[in-house]
Amino acid sequence: MNNKVYIYTDGACSGNPGPGGWGAILVSGAHEKELSGGEIDTTNNRMEITAVIKGLEALKRPCDVVLTTDSKYVVDAITQGWAKRWKANNWMRNKKDKAQNPDLWETLLKLLEIHNVEFVWVKGHAGHKYNERCDRLAVNYYMQLKK
């Protein structure tokens, strides 16, 4: 793997649940690609995870990735090993609480077997150029859904 790609992601939701959107920007050298999408009835966390999945799915071959997001939920679930533990425990967080979004975590864990991903957390709405752009992509998408 020698293709280094920077992926920036964000998710947004109007109401939780409600209409939601996600945005991802892939940067490789001088090339940038914007992606966005959404769902009419979703949650913010689902949109955050979906943005990461869609960014990684857009890669055409295995890559070294630096993935930047403002979602502590996503970063911690991967870097702290929560998602792998939930999966090993049949998608249970503990003996009585189900893990949320197992369908998305399952997909993300499979993608992480293909790509070498370093997760980076940034504070949201704090002026990070790409995070702000991803937020606009996500919000613009769900605003279209609300019409």
Catalytic site residues?
10-11, 48, 70, 125, 135
Give the number of other CB atoms < 10 A from CB of residue 8.
Answer: 28
| Helix boundaries (H) for 42-128 | 44-57, 72-79, 82-88, 102-114
Q: CA-CA distance, 142 to 5, in Å (whole number)?
A: 27
Cα 99 to Cα 77, 86, 105, distances in angstroms: 11, 6, 10
Q: CA-CA distance, 54 to 47, in Å (whole number)?
A: 10
